[in-house]
Amino acid sequence: MCEKSCAECRKLHEECGVFGIARLSDDSVDVREETRYALYALQHRGQESCGISVNDHGVITTVKDVGLVPEVLCNDRLETLPNGQMAIGHVRYATTGSANAINAQPIFIRHAKGTLSLAHNGNLTNAAAIRQEYQNQGIVFHTTNDTEVIAYTIAKERLTSSCIEEAVEKTMEKIVGAYSLVILSPRKLIAARDPMGFRPLVIGTLPGGGYVFASETCALDAVGAKYLRDVKPGEIVEVFEGKLQTYKQGKDRAEGFCVFEFIYFARPDSVLEGQSVHRARKLAGALLAKAHPVDADVVIGVPDSGLDAAQGYAAESGIPYGVGLLKNRYIGRTFIQPKQSQRENSVKIKLNAISSTVKGKRVVMIDDSIVRGTTSQRIVKLLRDAGASEVHMRVTAPPFTNPCYFGTDVDSKENLIACRMSHEEIEKSIGVDSLGYLSVEDAKKLAPDSDCGFCVGCFTGEYPVDTAGVRHKDKFEEKLKKL
């Protein structure tokens, strides 16, 4: 039996969101505040823990804990940090490593040649093997996340490298998987992205001088920064003495960008790989309307990522768009109840149907995904109880048939409804009159303004990098127990 609330079973999670800022040394702007503003903008990418590291004239100080940004980075705690010239920040959802304070980021370490603080978005596929190698050499780990593996690898490579950037480059030759990194050293702010470009990372310029790195452009907007460009796949970029320069050249295009960034993870006001997320979701809805038409009276979206797609479906089909479900904004993604009866009722607390929109109507309900099916079933029941005469579900992602190893919490096959039931059985299980998914071919069309290639491994089982050694979806900490 699932131990999480229905919202947890339905919605996928993404590893994290990262942010870095480097102001001019004589600038009086508070980088602590700006980093906090940016993390507010990225809160949707991680709601379990958060933190900030600040560099003040070469001294790095960190504050982090379990909780949301306003809880962890309140004014009193923020004031314990110096107002330096550079800072990095992080919001986390645990796909590797349990949700506790020790696993919160940024990860700060002291090494033989100095200090560094690191924030990571993504997931490594060879982290357990590297960790075992280091432990056999006597290295002590304090967390159960793969970010510490990256930090220790950089520290180890720094011993034989002429600079921190060279150590990062050597580290990238050893680690495999998805990673968008922001790294704070005593003198530099560094950003790096894996060669496939699984996870987003953008660069912005500040009006008073300086640069920022962020997982999404919405974080640039939060601090008044202007979008410059994306960090290229495989690229290492640094800010040193107020200047931005590339240490290692990257590829011109992402070959394995996670398609679910457009379908669900990113905020609709963000632009990723040159593509508006809002436009991509409306396009997904339009493609669904072409592939899966139905006679109906109203199109509604499941908040939040289903709303834009519902508008696209309505525009393409000619069926009126309506607001049929209202989301309670005061319940986060980590809302978990201890008893089964409470878990079953939690969808009623998080979502409520608007009867005047759906009563007596044939409803097309647009959502971003079906993972286990539990919550889809309960949302459909909400609509039925509110008087909907028919419910036709359309999904802006193909069926999940394989796990994800790159930072998306797509579970093992035995927990995916599409691996356990036929299409007709899923329709019956969740209680809909019809069900239609976006095809894999159409999912690859969601970024017409970009030439990026997509990772669709969770739908097809074909991944941009070799996953032969990690075919079973073990959580990282579960792998550690086996070592």
pLDDT tens digits in sequence order for the chain, 483 residues long? 333 333 333 455 556 999 999 997 656 789 999 999 999 999 999 999 999 999 999 999 999 999 999 999 999 999 999 999 999 999 998 544 455 788 999 999 999 999 999 999 999 999 999 999 999 999 999 988 899 999 999 999 999 999 999 999 999 999 999 999 999 999 999 999 999 999 999 999 999 899 999 999 999 999 999 999 999 999 999 999 999 999 999 999 999 999 999 999 999 999 999 999 999 999 999 999 999 999 999 999 999 999 999 999 999 999 999 999 999 877 654 333 444 454 456 666 789 999 999 999 999 999 999 988 988 999 999 999 999 999 999 999 999 999 899 988 776 788 899 999 999 999 999 999 999 999 999 999 999 999 999 999 999 999 999 887 665 555 555 555 454
Distance separating alpha carbons of residues 178 and 187, to the nearest angstrom: 26
Instruction: Tell whether 380 is covered by a domain.
Output: yes
Structural domain including 78 reads 8-256
CATH of the domain at 294: 3.40.50.2020
Residue type at 336 in one-letter notation: I
**Same domain, yes or no: 373 and 446:** yes
CATH of the domain at 82: 3.60.20.10
Distance separating alpha carbons of residues 259 and 453, to the nearest angstrom: 9
Q: Which residues pair with 239 in a beta bridge?
A: 189, 244
Of 16, 50, 218, 258, the active-site residue reads 16
**Same domain, yes or no: 101 and 197:** yes
Residues with Cβ within 8 Å of residue 86, at least 6 apart in sequence: 20, 21, 22, 23, 31, 54, 55, 184, 189, 239
* pLDDT at res. 478: 53
Angle at 465 between CA 462 and CA 468, to 5 degrees: 75
Task: Mark which of 256, 287, 307 sits at the end of a domain.
Answer: 256
* pLDDT at res. 408: 82
Distance separating alpha carbons of residues 165 and 188, to the nearest angstrom: 9
Instruction: Tell whether 477 is covered by a domain.
Output: no
* pLDDT at res. 337: 42
**Same domain, yes or no: 206 and 298:** no
3-state secondary structure the chain: CCCCCHHHHHCCCECEEEEEEEECCCCCCCHHHHHHHHHHHCHHHCCCEEEEEEEECCEEEEEEEECCHHHHCCHHHHCCCCCCCEEEEEEECCCCCCCCHHHCCCEEEEECCEEEEEEEEEEECCHHHHHHHHHHCCCCCCCCCHHHHHHHHHHHHHCCCCCHHHHHHHHHHHCCEEEEEEEECCCEEEEEECCCCCCCCEEEECCCCEEEEECCHHHHHHCCCEEEEECCCCCEEEEECCEEEEEECCCCCCCCEECHHHHHHCCCCCEECCEEHHHHHHHHHHHHHHHCCCCCCEEEECCCHHHHHHHHHHHHHCCCECCCEEECCCCCCCCCCCCHHHHHHHHHHHEEECHHHHCCCEEEEEECCCCCCHHHHHHHHHHHHCCCCEEEEEECCCCCCCCCCCCECCCCHHHCHHHHCCHHHHHHHHCCCEEEECCHHHHCCCCCCCCCCEECHHHHCCCCCCCHHHCCCCCHHHHHHHC
Task: Mark which of 211, 226, 256 sits at the end of a domain.
Answer: 256
Instruction: Tell whether 400 is covered by a domain.
Output: yes
**Same domain, yes or no: 242 and 347:** no
Distance separating alpha carbons of residues 75 and 86, to the nearest angstrom: 19
In terms of phi and psi (left: phi > 0; alpha: psi -120 to 50; beta: otherwise), the region of 377 is alpha
**Same domain, yes or no: 284 and 224:** no
**Same domain, yes or no: 229 and 356:** no
**Same domain, yes or no: 93 and 227:** yes
* pLDDT at res. 26: 59
* pLDDT at res. 50: 97
Instruction: Tell whether 377 is covered by a domain.
Output: yes
**Same domain, yes or no: 209 and 336:** no
Cα Rg for the chain, rounded, in angstroms? 22
Nearest to 426 by CA among 362, 372, 368: 372
Contact 286, 315 (CB under 8 A): yes
**Same domain, yes or no: 76 and 155:** yes
Instruction: Tell whether 482 is covered by a domain.
Output: no
**Same domain, yes or no: 220 and 325:** no
Distance separating alpha carbons of residues 104 and 71, to the nearest angstrom: 14
Instruction: Tell whether 464 is covered by a domain.
Output: no
**Same domain, yes or no: 209 and 320:** no
Domain count, the chain: 2
9 carries an active-site annotation: no
Query: What size, in residues, is the chain?
Result: 483
Cis preceding-peptide flag for 398 (omega within 30 of 0) = no
Instruction: Tell whether 224 is covered by a domain.
Output: yes
Contact 50, 91 (CB under 8 A): yes
- Tokens coding 309: 């797609």
- Would you state the torsion angle of the CA atoms of residues 185, 190, 196, 198, taken in this order, to the nearest 10 degrees? 80
Instruction: Tell whether 315 is covered by a domain.
Output: yes
Distance separating alpha carbons of residues 464 and 224, to the nearest angstrom: 35
**Same domain, yes or no: 284 and 205:** no
